[in-house]
Structure 1
Amino acid sequence: MNQFKTGLVLISGLWLLASNAATAQATRPLPLAQPKAANLARMRAESLNGGLSQYRAASCMYETGAGSCLESISDGGFLFRFQGGLPGWQQQTPPNPTIETSVLVSRDGDRILEVTYNGTVR
């Protein structure tokens, strides 16, 4: 019986290691500059659109690295495209964004290179 328990613990441990390795391979690590670039892009949109009392970016811009709002990564930098609107717009049914913003941030995440669009939702 003792050997059975030892074998079960060993098999369980191997299964946990294998599942953790699969999870680690499935999720690519973020470039170190991406979260910084996302924060910079979101803050620029907040500033352009009247501050937090008048504007909220899409929830994807509050996720680490804003992966679902990231349109592309290139030598030119990180390009984020996201919607926004009055505070509470995402809680409406259906959500009613009024503003769309595209911001290009440098590869190091330190500078806004260009706000390519900030206007009505296209």
Structure 2
Amino acid sequence: MARSAACPARSNRAHGPVDKSLGSELDHQSQRDMPSQSRETPFTNHGHQAVSADRKPMNRLLTTATGLALCLGSIGAVQAAPSLPVAQPKAANLARMRAESLNGGLASYRAAACMYETGASSCLISKSDQGFLFGFLGGPPGWQQQSPPRPTLETRVLVSQDGERILAVPYNGPIP
């Protein structure tokens, strides 16, 4: 089998313990004169280069610093995202499910894609003391994939501020 120069694990070195007394005095002299940075790192029993003891703390430090940077970066990203009221996603799901129920279930009706987004912000008409008012189109399954999309129904649903109750369905019918 040919040995690959690209794979450091496949070297011409013997793996396992090596009898150091086999080397010549010249080899020992040349190793002593070499700067410590250019000495070759010994191989483990598995053919991989061993990490010297003085590099282990540096590896731990690098791993810790990387983890800390990732954590701090993700905290900033979370803080930068606009926050929704906790009740808004619940209210949107409740409004969508009411429309599905009123219009024959999922076998015959699908709400607009905006109602499947977290919080349905693009379908939210208003948020007030009365609650969340959602307005959206709907139609038979696949209506949004048609070119152009052909919705058949429009629905407006008012949900309580806590997102727990349907207060009213002001409109559910053909598109005016």
How does the TM-score come out when normalised to structure 1?
0.80
Distance 2:106 2:125 in 1: 24
- Name 2:42's counterpart in structure 1: none
| Match runs of 1:82-121 below 5 Å | 82-121=136-175
Instruction: Pick the structure with greater CA Rg.
Output: 2
For the residue of structure 2 that corresponds to 1:72, the secondary structure is strand
- Name 2:129's counterpart in structure 1: 75
| Match runs of 1:5-84 below 5 Å | 27-84=81-138
- Which stretch shows the higher mean deviation, 43-52 or 22-31? 22-31
Deviation at 1:22, TM superposition (A): 8.4
The share of aligned pairs that are identical, in percent, is 70
Structure of greater relative contact order (alpha carbons < 8 Å, 6+ residues apart): 1
Higher helix share: 1
**Paired residue total:** 122
Gaps of 5+ in 2: 1-72
For the residue of structure 2 that corresponds to 1:94, the secondary structure is coil
How does the TM-score come out when normalised to structure 2?
0.57
Higher strand share: 1
Kindly report the root-mean-square deviation, in angstroms, between the aligned alpha carbons of the 2 structures: 2.4
Distance 1:103 1:61 in 2: 12
**Which amino acid in structure 1 is aligned with residue 151 of structure 2?**
P
Deviations 1:56-92 (A, max 9, x none): 0000000000010000000000000000000000000
- Name 2:37's counterpart in structure 1: none
Stretches of 4+ aligned residues off by more than 6 angstroms: 19-23
Gaps of 5+ in 1: 1-18
Distance 1:87 1:29, change over 3 A: same
